[in-house]
Amino acid sequence: MTETIVVAVDGPAGSGKSSVSKAAARRLGWAYLDTGAAYRALSWYVVARQLDPADSAAVIDALPDFDYRIGTDPDTYHVFVGDRDVTEAIRTPEVTAVVSAIARVPEVRAFLTGLFRDIIRTTDRDGIVVEGRDITTVVCPDAPVRILLTADEAVRMARRSAELTGHSAAHVGEALRRRDAADSRVVDFMNAADSVTTVDSTDLDFDQTVDAVIQVVQKAAHV
Ligand SMILES: Nc1ncnc2c1ncn2[C@@H]1O[C@H](COP(=O)(O)OP(=O)(O)O)[C@@H](O)[C@H]1O
Ligand SMILES: Nc1ccn([C@@H]2O[C@H](COP(=O)(O)OP(=O)(O)O)[C@@H](O)[C@H]2O)c(=O)n1
């Protein structure tokens, strides 16, 4: 059996990681793994169990009962905790506001990294596009294709606030800046690590960004 080709994609919030990675996976006929969804689902679970997200010990204690499942088919993407479909619930501003506190706990990162590697190992496609904050550096540092997807902060904020109707652009922008600042104290996703290719989507539209990612994949993985 040939080994699955891993495409590792990191970047800050609103850079296009999820949407671009999903579209690239679809075009390649490969699997897609959204790692942020696991951090979000754990945050949702902590809130649902009425635990304090800032209480690391309580969050660590909850890990063995965290029954997480995610689809890796880009066309039928769903996130479950137990038998509850949380695909929508994990995107609310309430969950987004607590996710950085959960993600900074080293035991949480180790637990979820193990889970991601299991999912990657058991994929039945020729390749998998995995996106997050530490995929090129921690989860899959040996991936044959490693990409940092960036865009200027103002552009990222504008994209995000266009998605979240009902929230002011200033509020969305401030929340995004605060989350990036907190997250980047834990892992560096603003600077490309050695031999990681940067794709800057500031002046690219969505399709051009997908094209740019596919080109990096084709060049690095010869597909
Ligand atoms: N190059 C691009 N040009 C315009 N809009 C984009 C581009 N890339 C992504 N988007 C849009 O920006 C929004 C945020 O993208 P998303 O994939 O959720 O980012 P991330 O996963 O990095 O937070 C989405 O609505 C997406 O469709
Ligand atoms: N590999 C990853 C992915 C996400 N995360 C955390 O999970 C949160 C949500 O990730 P996400 O990718 O869904 O966020 P967006 O960039 O899509 O808004 C981030 O703000 C990080 O705190 C992480 O720490 N490591």
Q: Could you report the predicted ipTM of this complex, rounded to two decimals? A: 0.97
Rounded to the nearest angstrom, the distance between the alpha carbon of 15 and the centre of ligand 1 is 6
Ligand 2 atom having least distance to the Cα of 34: 12
Nearest residue (by CA) to ligand 2, atom 9, is 36
pLDDT per residue over 87-119, tens digit each? 999 999 899 999 999 999 999 999 999 999 999
> Which residue among 95, 133, 155, 159 is best mutated to probe the pocket of ligand 1, counting the most ligand atoms within 8 A of its Cβ?
159
Q: For residue 1, how many other CB atoms are within 10 A of its CB?
A: 3
Report pLDDT for 149.
98
- How far, CA to CA in Å, does 162 sit from each of 22, 56, 167, 214? 19, 34, 9, 26
User: 1: pLDDT confidence band, cut at 50, 70 and 90?
Assistant: low
- Pairing status of strand 68-70 against strand 79-81: antiparallel
> Which residue among 39, 156, 164 is best mutated to probe the pocket of ligand 2, counting the most ligand atoms within 8 A of its Cβ?
39
- How far, CA to CA in Å, does 222 sit from each of 32, 125, 189, 217? 19, 16, 26, 7
Higher pLDDT, 171 or 33: 33
Average pLDDT over the chain reads 95
Q: For residue 125, how many other CB atoms are within 10 A of its CB?
A: 17
Rounded to the nearest angstrom, the distance between the alpha carbon of 134 and the centre of ligand 2 is 9
